[in-house]
Amino acid sequence: EIVMTQSPATLSVSPGARATLSCRASQSVSNNLAWYQQKPGQAPRLLIYGASTRDTGVPARFSGSGSGTEFTLTISSLQSEDFAVYYCQQYNSWPPLTFGGGTKVEIK
Amino acid sequence: QVQLVDSGGGLVKPGGSLRLSCAASGFTFSDYYMGWIRQAPGKGLEWISYISSVGRSVYYADSVKGRFTISRDNAKYSLFLQMNSLRAGDTAVYYCARGRLFGEPTFDYWGQGSLVTVSS
B28-77 pLDDT, tens per residue? 999 999 999 999 999 999 999 999 999 999 999 999 999 999 999 999 99
**Interface probe, candidates B33, B37, B43, B45, chain A, greatest A C-beta count within 10 A:** B45
Task: Answer whether residue B102 shows pLDDT above 90.
Answer: no
Look at residue B29 in the predicted model and tell me its pLDDT: 97
Interface test mutation site (partner B, options A35, A45, A46, max chain B beta carbons within 10 A)? A46
Cβ of B107 and A49 within 8 Å? no
For residue B101, the model assigns a pLDDT of: 80
Distance CA(B110)–CA(B2), nearest Å, equals: 9
| CA closest to B95 among chain A residues | A43
For residues B13 and B15, give the distance between their C-alpha atoms in angstroms, rounded to a whole number.
6
Answer whether residue B89 shows pLDDT above 90.
yes
Mean pLDDT of A31-47: 97
Chain A residues closer than 8 Å to B50 by CB? 95, 97
Task: Give residue B103's pLDDT band: very low, low, confident or very high (50, 70, 90).
Answer: confident
Residue A32 scores a pLDDT above 90: yes
Q: What pLDDT sits at residue A18?
A: 96
Nearest-Cα distance to chain A for B21, in Å, is: 16
